[in-house]
Structure 1
Amino acid sequence: MYVLLGNVLRGIGETPVQPLGISYIDDFAESESAALYIGCVQTISIIGPVFGFLLGSLCANIYVDVGYVDMETITITPEDARWVGAWWLGYLIAGTVTLLSAVPFWFLPKSLPMPVDKHDSSCTPEQTRFIKDADSPTLDHKIRPEEPANLHVMANEFVPTLKTLLGNPVYILYLGVTIIQFNSLIGMVTYKPKYIEQHYGQSASKANCFMGMINIPAVALGMFSGGVVMKKYKLGVMGAAKFAFGTSLLGFFLSFLFLAMGCENSKVAGITVSYTGEKDLSYQEQSLFSDCNSGCLCSTKEWDPVCGENGITYVSPCLAGCTSSRGSGRNMVFDHCKCVAVTNILPGNLTARLGQCLPRYNCDRVFPYFLALSVLSSFIISLGGTPGLMLLVRCIKPELKSLALGIHTLATRTLAGIPAPIYFGAIIDTTCLKWAYNTCGGRGACRIYNTSSYRIVYLGLTLGLRAVSFFLCIWGFDLLRKHIKREKEALSNDSGELELLRKEENSSATGGQFLLSPDCNPERETRL
């Protein structure tokens, strides 16, 4: 409950920065520089998780009850599946930093001078092309930035304005595409550290460190580079859409290579291999017992892994058939392990040490290639992030922009941020081979996964969602192209009518005078 309430407050505090901050920058920045500035903001927002993952890596390396227990009595290491890091420490540090970061916002001015080229920017063809004001009189009195907010007027205008916004098929399709892609992205990022842990045998601390030091900076660089490309080549609406689609599609095809970077399951006696070392064992609870431990009265619910000299992990010293031990704490060694001797033809005292056996050699060779491909694909996909956001901003009239960005943020976080980790986690849990049990007898955390099934389920679900979004993108391109063509024709007709109206007004010596900007839509005429 405390975490939930904390996230609610955090979400309220984020709103002035994103999405309203994006609208703020687009309103007051020069048109050709807006994409670069928004790219910088997006880059900074990505760099934040870099420090978050590094902080998580540090906290994960510290035992959860540090300061309350004697660390010499702890027999597990951060590589152990039972290790719980000091997760609470990160909240204290991040909360303090968040409070300090809010102080500079108190010194921002109430308003900024608008650049000259922005005076008529609300009437530019790109922004009037997609969403037009309805004829309803309630939409003729918009809340202007320089006017004090009137809650009564805002309440009356909200429903018709929302209908106008949601009546735009381009915006609705854009919303659908981003929701599906965010489901894929959030599910992938949430479980990527766990994937690295289970698949490549890395600790939680190292997995977070790799995400923070290698993966996230590539995303930040991609977001910034996307803004630079938009500024340099002055991409319009269709150009931004094509660039975002192309980079996402290229990253999608590169991600298929992850399916080839697999590792074999860890050798765990009675779960993935038999006690004789044979592979492809179909796990059942009875398979944990063998002749070498039949007289030991071992518990199958216990998970206290030991690594035998033969390179096979055993669920517990008891199930390894060990009869004695020496040492204490993490340095404890078990002697005369009968099950370890099953695969060893040489006589003698065969021992086992605490903890699972080290990762397989083939995984050590594949892991660097996995990291390199992860960086490359993340960079390419994130290149389209800023152009994609600018596509949304440029397709919305200024008075609808903040509402459109707010609905976009609400939809992605509600329909992607909440459900994605839930169903990703539920599907990944179907690949669990060995569950832990808590003191009350209920099922606890998963101790070991079928790595092959995990890889297929995790990557298959991620790629499948992105594939669905591409079909919507193709539909969206068709609508966008037709809409642009139709609005260009309408704009051409409006220009002829404007010229005729201007001549009539200039020749008139009586009545009100109309000043019409040649770049403006007739709906935006100003009577003096």
Structure 2
Amino acid sequence: MADPSAVKKKMASCSALKLFMASLTFAYICKALSGTVMKSSITQIERRFDTTSSMVGLIDGSFEIGNLLVIAFVSHFGAKLHRPKIISIGCFIMGLGSVLTALPHFFMGFYKYGQEVVHSDNSSFSACTTELPSTSNDTMPTLLHSDCRRESGSNMWIYVLMGNMIRGIGETPITPLGISYIDDFSKEENSALHIAILHTMTMIGPMVGYLLGSLCARMYVDIGFVDLNKITITPKDSRWVGAWWLGFLIAGFLSILASIPFCFLPKSAQKKGRQESNTSASPVGTGSNGGENQALNVKSQPPAKGKGHLTGFFYSLKLLLSNELYLIYMVLSLLQFSAFVGSVTYVPKYLEQQYGQSISKSNFLIGVITLPTVSCGIFTGGFIVKKYKLNLEGIVKLALLGHCFAFLLQILYFALGCENKTVAGLTVPYGRNDSADAPQDILPFSLCNNECNCDVNQWDPVCGNNGITYMSPCLAGCKSSVGYGKNMVFHNCSCVAGIGFHPANFSAHQGECSRTQHCSRNFIYYMVVQVLASFFFALGSTPSFMLIFRNVEPELKSLAVGVHFLIQRSLGGILSPIYFGALIDKTCVKWSINSCGERGACRIYDNVSYKTTYISLVTGLKSPTAFLYILLLLAMRRRMRRKGVTPSENKEEAVLEPIQDNIKSNQQSFTYNDANSETVI
């Protein structure tokens, strides 16, 4: 008869593990939600703090900086401490970081999106006036240079950067300590299933995050504090800023809530016999047949006797960096990851500027179309590997095939752009709508608005009845107006006059002119191509990660994953958004001017240059990848020949275990994979 006390301990241990699984799943969803909210709010932050794309790229990369600051400390000391409590502290810090990111909104004044004049319903406002501006007094320069930054709050973006960095610090212990806890205290046959469930449920976070980002982007930034009827812009306007702060508050409070259950969990939930099975298990990455049958590892090097920890580390690093298979895969994955991070960070802005879609709609489409497609691609890739029991060579071929299909599809993006917007005095001259015949010197003023004292720096676009957008009602030469807010209509606009127009038709309404039907069709084609490209990219990306620890010595696998993680984060996650943003800034044709007289956020881009720059960056980073995959395949075959293994023998001996077994025996891979969930869509 079973000992009642032993049964009671077993039930308590099982309950603790189940509670830990539920708590960790919620924490994973929260950290994915927080990262997605940041990605979906990048453009809103750029406009609210009147900064450039390269600067918000730095803000986005600050998460990776914070993560890298403490990853070594957490990985080394975390497992020796109370892991649930460390995770609890991490979730709490992650929540505080998200809340801190949103706080600048409450200390800044109301968002000023332009120099529009607010008037009552019954008044008639003349945009074109012959009166000189009243801002030319002697005290203005002093105010401009001494107090403008404080009044505008333009430096408040620093707190957003700090909050995002703190969020990265808090997120660090969740993955390595959570995965190791599950693997240590669950039954050996259940460990893989638990981790698979965990990563499957995590996909809820990005989906909810993009939908939340879409909802917040549809709301005005100062909702609840201003009369929305007085707002003259719409979510499709390049000056629109949604309630970006609301998503961070929600994500922050959920992360703080996720920290509570871990406080009540035990330090260990050790099962009887688990310790013995762990000590007798084969080394990490070796299946039941041993590492030599599971990978193309070279013969394990004997440990360096008499060497200190630091010397041993450099000796191991030297062995790792002399492994050509590891180096080739690290370079190709860095190129892929850099292209992925840069494209994902700025894809909502690209859809807005290129196709005239709102940020809200862009986030919604990513959440309901692109993310499920990526999930299907990951599942299909894993299914193919398991069904056909692909060896390492088969995995490389699958990854190469998926990459080639995705790359060829992305080439089509070059043909799916839209023409430049027709903005008088900016992209086309006044009175003309054919940019191909326009002279090189396009001036912001014309005879039609010569009598008006217009501010050329003002960006308050109106669409004339002639289908041309004007930078402001004043530059359109409008003499009168009727209506209120978004429904305001300007009449008697001298610059709108043209052949075939009657005086009554010399009018313009608020906002830019709509894009052409050709552009709308191209947007549909773009989304179809994006869905297919995302599927093929995800098809081989996850199985190919097995190559990191299958092509190195067993004792170097942890170091291999750590170095790979460091290179990806520092050169890809941090730098990629910065140089993507800097090159995108080069395509701007109209900048906002802040209260300090300095350049702020971009209002309108050269569509053709933006498309060429953005797509060329993505495809340029990915173009060498196919060559590197082929080089990797040849290097693997060369190593097999040196070992005296024929392709047929390799197919029989180097068959991969089912994906679930690989997940369990190579938990380091999940540490890396989840560490990059910040940028996964």
Counterpart position of 1:239:
394
- State whether structure 2 residue 371 is matched by structure 1 residue 216: yes
| Aligned mate of 1:366, from 522, 525, 528 | 522
Counterpart for residue 130 of structure 1: 297
Q: 1:343 Cα deviation (Å)? A: 5.0
Change in CA separation of 1:186 and 1:37 when aligned onto 2, cut-off 3 Å: farther
The 10-residue stretch of structure 1 (24-33 or 436-445) with the greater mean CA deviation from structure 2: 24-33
1:3-402 aligned at under 5 Å gives the runs 3-16=160-173, 18=175, 44-101=201-258, 107=265, 113=274, 119=282, 121=286, 123-126=290-293, 129-130=296-297, 132-137=299-304, 157-280=312-435, 287-402=443-558
CA distance in 2, matches of 1:435, 1:471: 40
Please say which of residues 328-337 and 311-320 is displaced more in the overlay. Answer: 328-337
Deviates more, 1:66-75 or 1:257-266: 66-75
Give the direction of change, closer, same or farther, for the CA distance of 1:116–1:418 in structure 2 (3 Å limit): closer
Aligned residue for 2:589?
A: 433
AA matched with 1:461: L
SS at the partner of 1:436? strand
Comparing 111-120 and 339-348, the one that deviates more: 111-120
Counterpart for residue 677 of structure 2: none
Distance 1:23 1:412, change over 3 A: farther
Describe the shift of the 1:95–1:453 C-alpha distance in structure 2 as closer, same or farther (beyond 3 A): same
Structure 1 pair 223/431, CA: closer, same or farther in 2 (3 Å)? Answer: same
List alignment gaps of at least 5 residues for structure 2.
1-157, 647-681
Within 2, Cα distance between the matches of 1:66 and 1:201?
24
Deviations 1:82-108 (A, max 9, x none): 111222221111122334445666758
The answer on whether the counterparts of 1:224 and 1:386 sit within 8 Å (CA) in structure 2 is no
CA 1:100–1:22 in structure 2 vs 1: closer, same or farther (change >3 Å)?
same
Q: Secondary structure at the match of 2:478?
A: coil
CA deviation profile, 1:187-241 (whole Å, cap 9, x unmatched): 1111111110011101111111111111122112211221222222222211111
Cα displacement string for residues 286-318 of structure 1 (whole angstroms, at most 9, x for unaligned residues)? 612112111112111110001112221110000
Letter in 1 for 2:479: T
* 2:570 maps to 1:414: yes
C-alpha distance after superposition, 1:431-467 (max 9, x if no partner) = 2121111111111111111111211111111111101
The alpha-carbon deviation at position 8 of structure 1 amounts to: 3.9
How far apart are 1:137 and its partner, in Å? 4.0
The percent of aligned pairs where both chains have the same amino acid is 48
Alignment of 1:466-505 (within 5 A): 466-488=622-644
In structure 1, stretches of 5+ residues that fail to align are 141-152, 491-528
Q: Which moved more, 1:67-76 or 1:309-318?
A: 67-76
TM-score normalised according to structure 2 size: 0.64
8 A Cα contact 1:129 1:487, kept in partner:
no
Deviation at 1:2, TM superposition (A): 3.8
Contact 2:329 2:547 in 1 (8 A): no
Which stretch shows the higher mean deviation, 75-84 or 22-31?
Answer: 22-31
Q: Which amino acid aligns with 1:253?
A: L
Deviation of 1:276 (Å)? 1.8
Q: Is the 8 A contact 2:233 2:486 kept in 1?
A: yes
Contact persistence 2:591–2:599 (CA under 8 A): yes
SS of residue matched to 1:447: strand
Cα RMSD for the two superposed structures: 3.2
SS at match of 1:63: coil
- Could you give the per-residue CA deviations for residues 391-428 of structure 1, whole angstroms, max 9, x where no partner exists? 22333455433332232222111101111111111112
Counterpart of 2:57 in structure 1 is none
Distance 1:37 1:261, change over 3 A: farther
Instruction: Choose 280-289 or 18-27, whichever is displaced more.
Output: 18-27
**8 Å contact from structure 2 (residues 354, 418) kept in 1:** yes
* Corresponding letter in the other structure for 1:381: F
More deviation in 441-450 or 115-124? 115-124
| Counterparts of 1:11 and 1:402, CA distance in 2 | 22
Give the distance between the partners of 1:185 and 1:194, measured in 2 at CA: 15
The total of aligned residue pairs comes to: 477
Shift of 1:338: 1.1
Relative distance call for 1:412 and 1:343 in structure 2 (3 A) is: farther
